[in-house]
A = this chain, B = another copy of it.
Amino acid sequence: MAWRTPPRHYGPWEQIASHLAEGLVARGVDVTLFATLDSRTAGKLDGVCPHGYAEDPALDGRVWEALHVAHALARSAEFDLVHSHLDWLPLAFAAHVRAPMVTTVHGFSDPRILPAYRRAASAYVSISDADRSPELDYVATVYHGIDLEALPFSAAGGEDLVTLGRIHPDKGTAAAIEIARMAGRRLAICGIVQDERYFAEQVLPHVDGDAVSYLGPVGPSRRAEVLGSAAALLHPIAFDEPFGLAVVESMACGTPVVTYPRGAMPEIVDEAVTGFLVDGPATAAAAVDRAAGLDRAACRAMASRRFSTARMVTDYLAVYERILG
């Protein structure tokens, strides 16, 4: 709802909802995608919000999310199953959903949203084992899937480093700059600016267009080129990342990852195959050459095996069957 489905530049929840919807349609499932009305799907599109509220300051996100959820509720009896990717608001109204409901928990923004989850008649899917709340029961963990065709293998890679994610202290953009400097390699920074002060104070002063470049959000169309031409992705997170879509996208292009063992990273990264888990900037810098020396084809192969949209669609179909059977 914040962004169009699929998103133009940024919007991981919308990206996954899109991959899943299109994948289900391709398998012959009758899918109605409730999303912003400028969204694109091979299924049926419905909704009330003209476009993403994060893309139009005239829209109050709270109001449009509520109108959207109310509209989907009103149609819920028409479906065999409702699959929500929309956080806690549909859960607060779960008693009014007239079909079995499953919710993919894309992350907990705040522990104070948990009361909506605890009371709701919804099955839950976690996006990593690490992101599970001990207060909830889950039917499955389903790792995100990506569009492997849109992220082709790049055998050559390159010498430079890349980091991709919201520019925010959580994502460790400043740490990536430090690591690249210590590793003696150039760094390309990609992502939307979520924390403007952090960007202005800790990132921009280092951007010189040579050692450190800022490439902007780098939407789906440019992502393969940027990720595929790097030696390694730096992902020195300062929070418990629930999944880490950029990490998997990088692997798919053949570019291994150097990250910290927080959140989902130990589940996502296969040590010495798709990257390295290290414990700080110095060890990260030391791991860069090792990461750059990994077999890029093996990295791609592992990403293809574990994080394809096809695998995600199969996993969700199994979840649906379990709920409906």
A interface with B by C-beta (< 8 Å): 58-60, 62-64, 66-67, 69-70, 73-74, 88-89, 92-96, 110, 112-113, 115-116, 119
Contacts and interface: CB of A to CB of B under 8 A. Distances in A.
B74 A116 contact: no
Contact of A70 (B59, B67, B96): B96
Contacts of A74: 95-96
A110 to B, nearest CB: 6
Contacts of A64: 115
State the copy count for this chain.
2
Nearest to A89: B66
Given A60-B110, A112-B58, A112-B59, A66 B95 contact: no
A66 B96 CA distance: 12
Nearest to A53: B112
Contacts of A116: 63, 66-67
A57 to B, nearest CB: 9
Nearest to A96: B96
Nearest to A58: B112
Nearest to A95: B74
Contacts of A59: 112
A93 B66 contact: yes
B63 A88 contact: yes
Given A66-B116, A74-B96, A96-B96, 13 more contacts: A58-B112, A60-B112, A63-B92, A63-B115, A66-B89, A66-B92, A67-B92, A67-B115, A69-B92, A70-B92, A70-B94, A70-B96, A93-B93
Contacts of A67: 92, 115-116, 119
A71 to B, nearest CB: 8
A97 to B, nearest CB: 10
A115 B70 CA distance: 13
A116 B60 CA distance: 10
B63 A112 contact: yes
A204 B110 CA distance: 34
Of A66, A67, A95, A96, chain B has the most CB atoms within 10 Å of the CB of A66
29 contacts: A58-B112, A59-B112, A60-B112, A60-B113, A60-B115, A62-B62, A63-B88, A63-B112, A63-B113, A63-B115, A63-B116, A64-B115, A66-B88, A66-B89, A66-B92, A66-B93, A66-B116, A67-B92, A67-B115, A67-B116, A69-B92, A70-B92, A70-B93, A70-B96, A73-B93, A73-B96, A74-B96, A93-B93, A93-B96
A272 B110 CA distance: 53
